[in-house]
Amino acid sequence: MLFSDLTEETLFSLLSNKSRSALTILGIVIGIGSVIAMISIGHGATQQVTSQIESLGTNLLTVRSGASRSGLVRGGMGSASTLKTTDVEAIRTNIDNVEAVSAVVSSQKQITAKGTNTNTSIYGIDTYYFGIKNIAVSLGAKITEQHINSKSKVAVIGPTTRDDLFGADANPIGQKIRISGQEFSVIGVTEAKGGTGMNSSDDIVYIPLTTAQQYLTGSSQTVTTINVQVASDEFMDTAEENITALLLVRHKIADAASADFNVMNQADMLSAMSSVTGTLTLLLGAIAGISLVVGGIGIMNMMLTSVTERTREIGLRKSLGAKKRDISSQFIAESIALTFIGGVIGVIVGWLASFLITYFASTTTVVSYYSVFLSVGISALIGIVFGYYPAQRAAKLDPIEALRYQ
Amino acid sequence: MIRCENISRTYKIGDDEDLTVLKNINFTIEKGEFVAIIGPSGSGKSTLMNILGALDRPTGGKYFLDDRDVFSLSDEELAEIRSEKVGFVFQSFNLLPRSTVIRNVMLPLIYDKKCPKIDRLEKVNKSLKEAGLEEERWQHLSNQLSGGQMQRVAIARALVNNPGIVLADEPTGNLDSKTGEIVLETFKNLNRLNGHTIILITHDHHVAEHADRVIEIKDGEIIADKKKK
């Protein structure tokens, strides 16, 4: 049997049962479409998380003070005041290959402006901070050395905070905001960086480090976080080790396990997050995969019905000289055609779905080529796997019995 | 052309119970003969037709089709024999539904490796002419035809490969007597004018009378083998 005959026969028999073929194809379309859409959500999440972490600055080590303890109650990470301004200086002078070091005092406070208020993070920062974190101001000015020296009550606010307090796209420069009873004047607005949730750098109020120490934490010596920018990727591990060793000595702690601080490597964070999103992708893909299997069972069901219905035809073809292989390849070809058509339409539908998800749910989705090839390949494979059994059943029919079948 | 030597066919119906459907079948059919095999239902004539058509193998004896021993052939080789040497005409026509006459007649050719694609239509036209189907029907769908027309399509399909033998199993069984007569005339002409070897299986003496030679079987055995004149 020639390949062109096979395709002709296949098309003919699929077209002679249009509605049944269409419904079976629909099952595969839904399966493939949802696999593509789900994996695109997973990939989108990975990409978003990666770009967010990378936007926080490159080659970044973050030192945070450890958890506070009062009796048996253990506070959150960073709640103890173990990191001192002197530690910052020590890192700056003793650690090699360090580009910049920035100290931060952070807390969560209620902020009020004229008639409005919001609850957000207050970061007391030094002049290095914006550089390390790649933060630019879109309006007004940054916090300067002079602000820090004179403990000025000035604030640079994030765009989300600006929107919350003054309304979208308002110019807040020169406006007053109150934090813990102190009045600050707004001198700048940072550029939007995107991202949502707790760690959004768009919903933050930045004030000078010294001001924060005086008015918010009440201690001019302690800092919450030290951000260290390492000169290059290859020095990350040594810098991390050296900082840990230095701080252990300075804090007079012999055992690294009981350290009262914690050094986080950005690369570790990235790999931790991408393993989370990787699991998410796998989970979403697996759920969608179930519908693909159901679609495959639909194919098998249709093929089995078709074998039974066409028993006489199979007998006839055999009596006319069709070999087992001719019969089985005809049925396999039909199921592959069904899944292949379903696969191609499914890719388009999945693509469209992920586009709509991005459009309406504003979730980043990424349709990767590998997921497209993978699902078209899987759909053809499903055709072979679920078409094989019905095809074998057809090929094994005894021509005499089949011709007599009513 | 066809040589049967002591053919028997038994079916296993229990662990040690056998049902003998054919025994001691001996005959030869030469090229160009028009033979009717007649017998009441249950006489074993359908089983004999299956063996002659290489759909089944005998359990005993030897069957030679064109000097090839069919008994020793594999399933694949049997399929090849059916494709090249045998044309079947069935009682219930067995045409592909929703398909044109031409597609139906062409069907055996797609399983024939020796027939190039470009020769197909020519062969189809030739055999449709031989079977005597009016040319304006050729593009019709098989289910738009009358019974007699359907059977002539089936005959054309059986002829399209130019087979050594045409096996017709009760070809008039589903037709009224007048149409049946026309179909039988068609067979007669194919035999007389085109030299096809035709084996007609029937239970009806009137039908068998059209053939030149009548082999009568009963209870699995040949009881008569008569040639006309």
CB-based contact (8 Å) between A3 and chain B?
Answer: no
Average pLDDT over residues A271-300: 87
Of A346 and A362, the structure prediction assigns the larger pLDDT to A346
Residue A78: pLDDT band (50, 70, 90) is: low
Q: Is B118 exposed, middle or buried (0-12, 13-18, 19+ CB in 10 A)?
A: exposed
Tell me whether B220 touches chain A (CB under 8 Å): no
Residue A69 pLDDT: 54
pTM for the model stands at: 0.73
Task: Report yes or no: B50 at the A interface, CB cutoff 8 Å.
Answer: yes
Contact A322 B56 (CB under 8 A): no
pLDDT of residue B3: 92
Q: Which residue among A16, A320, A324 sits closest to B98, beta carbon to beta carbon?
A: A16
pLDDT at A307: 92
CA dist A217 and A189 (Å) reads 24
CB-based contact A104:A224 (threshold 8 Å): yes
Residues of B in contact with A324 (CB under 8 A): 75-76, 79
pLDDT digits (tens, 9 = 90+) for A213-242: 888 887 778 888 899 988 887 888 888 888
Residue A70 has pLDDT above 70, yes or no: no
- B143 Cα to chain A: minimum distance (Å): 14
CB contact (8 A) between residue A321 and residue B90: no
Render pLDDT for A84-106 as a digit per residue (tens, 0 to 9): 888 888 888 888 888 889 999 98
Interface contact flag, B94 A316, Cβ < 8 Å? yes
At A137 the three-state DSSP class reads strand
- A80 pLDDT more than 90: no
CB-based contact B110 A5, cutoff 8 Å: yes
Residues in Cβ contact with A208 at an 8 Å cutoff, skipping those fewer than 6 apart: A124, A125, A126, A143, A147, A148, A151, A152, A154
State whether residue B78 sits within 8 Å of chain A by CB.
no
- A7 CA to chain B: closest CA distance, Å? 12
Put residue A307 in one of left, alpha, beta given phi > 0 → left and psi -120 to 50 → alpha: alpha
B93 touches chain A (CB under 8 A): no
Name the residue with tokens 């089949």. Answer: A402
Please tell me the distance from the alpha carbon of residue A387 to that of residue A296, in angstroms, as a whole number.
Answer: 9
- In the predicted model, is pLDDT for residue A147 greater than 80? yes
Beta bridge partners of B47: none
> Can you tell me the distance from the alpha carbon of A65 to that of A261, in angstroms, rounded to the nearest whole number?
4
- The low-confidence residues of chain B, meaning pLDDT below 50, are none
By C-alpha distance, the chain A residue nearest B113 is A1
pLDDT of residue A352: 93
Half-sphere exposure of A261 (CA within 13 A, CB side): 31
- Pick the residue from chain A with its C-alpha nearest to B75: A323
Please indicate if any CB of chain A lies within 8 Å of the CB of B76.
Answer: yes
d(CA B188, CA A280): 76
* Eight-class DSSP state of B100: B
**A269 pLDDT above the threshold of 70:** yes
State chain A's mean pLDDT as an integer. 86
Q: B-contacting residues of A 366-405, CB under 8 Å?
A: 399-400, 403
The closest of A119, A124, A114, A204 to A158, measured between CA atoms, is A204
- pLDDT of amino acid A164: 87
Q: What CA–CA distance (Å, rounded) separates A118 from A130?
A: 23
Phi first, then psi: give them for residue A362, nearest 5 degrees: 40, 40
Asked if residues A226 and A102 have their Cβ atoms less than 8 Å apart, the reply is yes
pLDDT digits (tens, 9 = 90+) for B162-205: 898 999 999 998 889 898 998 999 999 999 988 899 999 999 99
DSSP annotation of B141: B
Work out the angle between the directed axes of helices A3-15 and A324-361 (0-180°, nearest 10).
60
Out of B50, B82, B94, closest to residue A321 by CB: B82
In this predicted structure, what is the pLDDT of residue A153? 92
Longest dimension (CA), chain A: 103
- Name the residue among A5, A9, A400 with its Cβ closest to that of B55: A400
Q: How far apart are CA A88 and CA A320, in angstroms?
A: 90
Alpha carbon distance, N-terminus to C-terminus of chain B? 22
Contact state of A4 with B88 under an 8 Å Cβ cutoff: no
Most confident of A123-137, A266-280, A308-322, B58-72: A308-322
Which residue out of A5, A319, A329, A396 would a mutagenesis test of the B interface target, given it has the greatest number of B Cβ atoms within 10 Å?
A: A319
- Listed by start position, the domains of chain A span 3-51+272-404, 81-259
Give the pLDDT band (50/70/90) at residue A73. Answer: low
Please tell me the distance from the alpha carbon of residue B110 to that of residue A4, in angstroms, as a whole number. Answer: 10
- Residue identified by tokens 């419904």 is A23
Q: Pseudo-torsion of CA A286, A288, A290, A296, nearest 10°?
A: -130
Residue A325, min C-alpha distance to chain B (Å): 9
End-to-end CA distance of chain A: 27
8 Å CB contact between A399 and A313: no
Give residue A196's pLDDT.
52
What is the arithmetic mean of pLDDT over A263-272? 81
Asked if A367 and A303 touch (Cβ cutoff 8 Å), the reply is no
Percent of chain A with pLDDT over 90: 32
Closest partner CB to A313 (pick from B76, B96, B117): B96
Any idea what DSSP says for residue B82? Answer: H
> Across the interface, do A403 and B94 touch by the CB < 8 Å criterion?
yes
At A340, list the tokens.
Answer: 């292949």
With a threshold of 0.85, tell me whether the complex ipTM lies above it. Answer: yes
A16 vs A392: which has the higher pLDDT: A392
Please report the pLDDT score of residue A185 as a whole number. Answer: 93
Q: B93 vs chain A: nearest CA distance in angstroms?
A: 10
Q: Is the per-residue pLDDT at A324 higher than 90?
A: yes
CA of B153 to nearest chain A CA: how many angstroms apart?
A: 14
Q: Give CA–CA dist A378/A138, Å, rounded.
A: 49
- Give B-chain residues touching A399 at CB under 8 angstroms: 55
Which tops the pLDDT comparison, B150 or A361? B150
Q: pLDDT band at A79, cuts 50/70/90?
A: low
Number of helices followed by number of strands (H, E) in chain A: 13, 14
Kindly state the percentage of chain A with pLDDT values over 70.
94
Is residue A197's pLDDT more than 60?
no
User: Which 3 state secondary structure label does DSSP give A178?
Assistant: strand
> Any chain B CB within 8 A of the CB of A16?
yes
The arithmetic mean of pLDDT across residues A39-65, rounded, is 82
